[in-house]
């Protein structure tokens, strides 16, 4: 059996775009050349990789298996090229990170700004994903590093807890719930909420309320924690936020922060990867920076 990296790249392009012609264009090949390469690949593997349909193609079970392996091989190939470049091994390269909403807004800006400032040759592809999508992305080698809060439910991945995260309830300065210092989230369901539009946090909250057989009355959805807090301050509703974001915005707004007694409100932030030694050198340096920054923040937070 013999196939080269170009065959695998072409296969992945076609699988992701679900179209042979568009996959060929991304690989800088003609449709005829791409079809010939694909046919040769299927012959070598002895398996059909795609179902041909009127609107494009879809993966067969054998194609699904090859896609998982191809992504791993291609990412490792890129890492090898990066580590053996003319630059210092950790000074150049590319990292793809899948992370949840809180990590993207509360953790990564500072860490990435310093890391990328020190290594101008490193590029980063940062994508917001749900916890389920982050885990699947690392398992499928679609990303190098994943950052989530809470349990990951996959023993096949390596993970490190680098900090903790607490969800709190934010209310206007005058609200019936303000007489409580700590409450169960269920008590908040009777009031209108301000949500974070399209976020992993909102997806988590929706699943949580469904599991409680409850209903979340979302009065308005905003695009950031800051805009959420502005609406909450104006009395539009109440909202669930990470404690770090809630405290930061409460300093400049008339808001009240209420602790939640629910066990799920306290979460571990974890960084995920398939195998530490298989990460490119620049990614390992990034992880060290993330851990170091978190340890410093924890020391500052101790009384």
Summarised one tens digit per residue, pLDDT across range 156-181 is 888 899 888 899 999 999 999 999 99
Most confident of 67-71, 84-88, 149-153, 274-278: 67-71
What is the fold, at CATH topology level, of the domain defined by 5-81?
Arc Repressor Mutant, subunit A (1.10.10)
CB contact set of 161 (below 8 Å; sequence gap of 6+): 268, 269, 270
Cβ contact 102:242 at 8 Å: yes
pLDDT tens-place string over residues 211-270: 988 899 999 999 999 999 999 999 999 999 999 999 999 999 999 999 999 999 998 899
Residue 96 has pLDDT above 70, yes or no: yes
Cβ contact 265:102 at 8 Å: no
Angle (deg, nearest 10), helices 243-250 and 225-233: 50
Query: Is 3.30.470.160 the CATH classification of the domain at 166-266?
Result: no
Which among 293, 278, 251 has a CA at the least distance from the CA of 145?
A: 278
User: From the CA atom positions of the chain, what is the Rg in Å?
Assistant: 23
Instruction: Compute the distance between CA of residue 303 and CA of residue 299 in angstroms, rounded to an integer.
Output: 9
Instruction: Compute the distance between CA of residue 157 and CA of residue 149 in angstroms, rounded to an integer.
Output: 15
pLDDT at 302: 38
Chain-centroid distance of CA 237 in Å reads 28
pLDDT at 44: 87
Whether 88-163+267-301 shares its CATH topology with 166-266 is answered: yes
pLDDT at 221: 95
Average pLDDT, stretch 131-139? Answer: 89
Q: Which CATH class is domain 88-163+267-301?
A: alpha beta
Q: Binning pLDDT at 50, 70 and 90, where does residue 73 land? A: confident
Which among 128, 269, 293 has a CA at the least distance from the CA of 200?
A: 128
Of the two residues 166 and 90, the one the predictor is more confident about is 166
Residue 300 has pLDDT above 60, yes or no: no
Instruction: Compute the distance between CA of residue 241 and CA of residue 185 in angstroms, rounded to an integer.
Output: 12
pLDDT at 296: 43
pLDDT at 299: 35
Q: In this prediction, what percent of the chain has a pLDDT beyond 90?
A: 46
pTM of the model: 0.64
Q: Binning pLDDT at 50, 70 and 90, where does residue 33 land? A: confident
What is the β-pairing status of strands 92-99 and 121-128? parallel
pLDDT at 301: 40
Instruction: Compute the distance between CA of residue 70 and CA of residue 5 in angstroms, rounded to an integer.
Output: 9
Q: Which residues of 33-61 are buried (b: 16+ CB within 10 A; e: fewer)?
A: ebeebbeebbeeeeeebbeeeeebbebee
Query: Can you give the residue ranges of every domain in the chain?
Result: 5-81, 88-163+267-301, 166-266
The mean predicted confidence, pLDDT, of the chain is 87
Cβ contact 71:140 at 8 Å: yes
pLDDT tens-place string over residues 77-89: 776 766 665 455 5
Q: Binning pLDDT at 50, 70 and 90, where does residue 15 land? A: very high
Most confident of 61-70, 93-102, 172-181, 287-296: 172-181
């Amino acid at each position: 059996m013999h196939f080269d990296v170009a065959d695998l790249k072409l296969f992945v392009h076609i699988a992701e775009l679900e179209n042979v012609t568009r996959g060929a264009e991304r690989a800088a090949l003609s449709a005829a050349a791409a079809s010939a390469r694909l046919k040769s690949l299927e012959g070598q593997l002895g398996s059909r990789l795609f179902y041909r349909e009127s609107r494009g193609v879809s993966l067969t079970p054998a194609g699904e298996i090859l896609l998982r392996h191809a992504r791993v091989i291609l990412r490792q190939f890129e890492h090898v090229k990066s580590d053996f470049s003319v630059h210092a091994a950790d000074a150049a390269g590319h990292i793809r990170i899948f992370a949840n909403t809180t990590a993207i807004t509360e953790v990564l800006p500072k860490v990435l700004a310093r890391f990328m400032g020190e290594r101008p040759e490193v590029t980063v592809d940062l994508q917001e994903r749900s916890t389920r999508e982050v885990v699947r992305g690392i398992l499928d080698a679609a990303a190098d590093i994943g950052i989530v809060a809470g349990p990951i439910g996959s023993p096949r991945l390596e993970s490190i807890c680098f900090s903790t995260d607490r969800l709190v309830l934010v209310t206007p300065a005058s609200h019936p719930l303000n007489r409580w210092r700590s409450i169960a989230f269920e008590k908040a369901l009777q009031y209108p909420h301000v949500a974070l539009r399209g976020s992993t946090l909102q997806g988590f909250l929706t699943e949580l309320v469904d599991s409680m057989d409850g209903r979340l009355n979302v009065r308005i959805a905003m695009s950031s924690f800051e805009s959420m807090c502005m609406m909450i301050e104006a009395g539009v509703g109440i909202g669930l936020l990470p404690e770090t974001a809630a405290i930061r915005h409460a300093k400049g707004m008339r808001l009240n922060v209420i602790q939640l007694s629910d066990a799920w409100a306290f979460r571990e932030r974890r960084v995920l990867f398939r195998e530490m030694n298989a990460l490119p050198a620049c990614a390992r340096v990034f992880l060290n920076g993330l851990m170091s920054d978190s340890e410093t923040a924890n020391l500052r937070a101790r009384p």
